[in-house]
Structure 1
Amino acid sequence: MSADLLPGAAAVPVVVLASAVLHAVWNGLAHGLRDKLAGFTLISLASAGCGAVLVCFAPLPEPAAWPYIAASAALQTAYQLLLLRAYQLGDFGQMYPTARGTSPLVVALVSTALLGHSLPAGQALGIAVISCGLAALAFADGMPGRAQLPALAAALGTGVMIASYTLVDGSGVRVSGSVFGYIAWLFLCQGLVLPVVARAVRGPGLLTALRPLWGRGLAGGLLSLLAYGLVVWAQSRGDLATVAALRETSIVFGTLIGAVVFRERLGHRRITASVTVLAGIAVLQLTGGGS
């Protein structure tokens, strides 16, 4: 059913939950690809292709926005590289919630420590709950050995990159003069960087690696853009804190995908840890501490 056919109050949570499912699904597709660098390259090409179409209709951002677009494109490339590394090394059901849960925690801490924002009791509680949930995820299978540390480091680094480009985009879009123009050019610019990096790493053999994956890779890219578009639609019509909190239900969906699709061990510890991270994010967002 189209969101336009739903009553206004009901459409927003339905659309945001759909976005959360799509976000978890495209990450699951990326994790399931054997050649993850080739898969992420195709996802980036889908972003660049959509961006190339959108810039034909979007206003050009103001000059002040271009440094933010460049910085965000670099940060999103680092995010993709760290995420694919985390998926190469760890279980999807552990890496995805860790990466998603780290981001709002970092945003809240940076906003408080560096940007001078206050930290009310509710936000402090949210940070504490998220921290406990992330620690529980890290130790869900017992004390991490040396072999597990690179995967956890990559997942945590992914969350830091998400927080970084979130903060950059939050500032850049305010000076862009056009939200649509900023998003369109960002899609185009960030979508072109990873394919260049992949070409430098793989050389001429990259094209051969892309061929068997093009269907799932491009599907993942389109799903990621659709998930983002649904959130933007919801943010324009609903309460921002509620939208942000509902969006993080993708953590639960990601945990379930890890268990059902990838046959990963779920266990009560991972379930409890994922729900704890989600609860902490909900507290943080609903008390005004998220982004």
Structure 2
Amino acid sequence: MSAGVLLAVLLGAFLHASWNVLVKAGHDTSVAVAGVYIGAGVLSAIALPFLPAPSAASWPYLAVSTVVEVLYAFLLAAAYRLGDLSHAYPLMRGTAPLLVAIGSGALIGEPLSGAVYAGVALVSAGVLSTIRDAHSRGHSPAATRLALLNACVIAAYTTIDGLGVRASRAPVAYSLWLSLLVGLPWLAWVVMRRDYRWADVRRQLPAVALGGACSVGSYTLALWAMTRAPVAAVAAVRETSIVFGAALGAVVLRERVTRVRALAAVAIAFGVWIIRAH
């Protein structure tokens, strides 16, 4: 992985952690998630007329990924309602690269080395220590289950989009079309909510715009990188967002980060670095 690709993925990781903090900071996480995805969809709709269309071969991947990513967003909101960002975020983002790495040989045709599997084991150890810490501190078991379920969903759409963006021949357009398609169901959900106050939307427009820009920017950088490096490597490096998420959760949301959580985040980050390096 070249230095340019690495820097792009790391920037995307920071952007991803940032919009997750915006979601967790909202009074209603479902509404906050909707705002981020609607904002990303609007920004994508503005930019798409100036970009070439993805190839026809990539549209089936776009269709399937849209469904999977809408499911991801709903599970994300539910996990944040029940648990801390510094608990749910590492579980979701730390477990997903394990699954991508395990399936990359058979599903993508990118077999991994022994060193990569060592990195996978280190990530697993960090994830397991986070789960243990969550139970010992009384966090909701339901939040843990939702976070782990969402990790499977993340691994699924990462694999789908890794294949789709390579078939698209237009990674930026592929990512923006995906953001637009995922934003439409959320817009419909907001419109159908009778208790939704549109005055709140106007007050939150800066946060919606910022969250949407972070969301679409983060995934566009990751998908672009997947056209230049193995999908499992990009997925792993992107999960350094775990460290950004834990730090932002402590600084912005004033969530307590225990020693176990901090060490788990470091172990996960080091594990995904090993995966990236090999």
TM range (shorter): 0.7 to 0.9
Structure 2: unaligned runs, 5 residues or longer: none
Whether 1:181 aligns to 2:199 is no
Whether 1:253 aligns to 2:213 is no
Whether 1:222 aligns to 2:213 is yes
CA shift in 2, pair 1:86/1:170, >3 Å: same
Matching of residues 1-291 of structure 1 within 5 Å: 16-112=9-105, 118-143=111-136, 148-200=140-192, 202-203=193-194, 205=196, 207-231=198-222, 246-287=237-278
Figure out how many residues of one structure are paired with residues of the other and give that number.
277
Alpha-carbon distance between aligned partners in 2 of 1:174 and 1:242, rounded to the nearest angstrom? 15
**Aligned partners of 2:37 and 2:215 also within 8 Å:** no
SS at match of 2:133: coil
The root-mean-square deviation of aligned C-alpha atoms, in Å, is 2.9
CA shift in 2, pair 1:169/1:237, >3 Å: closer
The offset of 1:140, in angstroms, is: 1.4
SS at match of 1:55: helix
The offset of 1:35, in angstroms, is: 1.4
**Aligned partners of 1:38 and 1:210 also within 8 Å:** no
Alpha-carbon distance between aligned partners in 2 of 1:114 and 1:245, rounded to the nearest angstrom? 17
Alpha-carbon distance between aligned partners in 2 of 1:114 and 1:232, rounded to the nearest angstrom? 17
SS at match of 1:189: helix
Q: Which range is displaced more, 81-90 or 20-29?
A: 20-29
Q: Alignment identity in percent?
A: 36
Alpha-carbon distance between aligned partners in 1 of 2:141 and 2:215, rounded to the nearest angstrom? 28
CA shift in 2, pair 1:168/1:206, >3 Å: farther
Q: TM-score with structure 2 length normalisation?
A: 0.86
The offset of 1:113, in angstroms, is: 5.9
**Aligned partners of 1:38 and 1:213 also within 8 Å:** no
**Aligned partners of 2:72 and 2:153 also within 8 Å:** yes
CA shift in 2, pair 1:283/1:142, >3 Å: same
**Aligned partners of 2:96 and 2:155 also within 8 Å:** yes
CA shift in 2, pair 1:107/1:241, >3 Å: closer
CA shift in 2, pair 1:229/1:167, >3 Å: closer
Amino acid at match of 1:139: R
Alpha-carbon distance between aligned partners in 2 of 1:13 and 1:114, rounded to the nearest angstrom? 23
Q: Which range is displaced more, 277-286 or 226-235?
A: 226-235
CA shift in 2, pair 1:244/1:173, >3 Å: closer
Alpha-carbon distance between aligned partners in 1 of 2:84 and 2:170, rounded to the nearest angstrom? 39
Alpha-carbon distance between aligned partners in 1 of 2:227 and 2:65, rounded to the nearest angstrom? 22
Q: Deviations over 1:17-48 (max 9, x none)?
A: 44333222211111100012221111111111
**Whose radius of gyration is greater, 1 or 2?**
1
SS at match of 1:140: helix
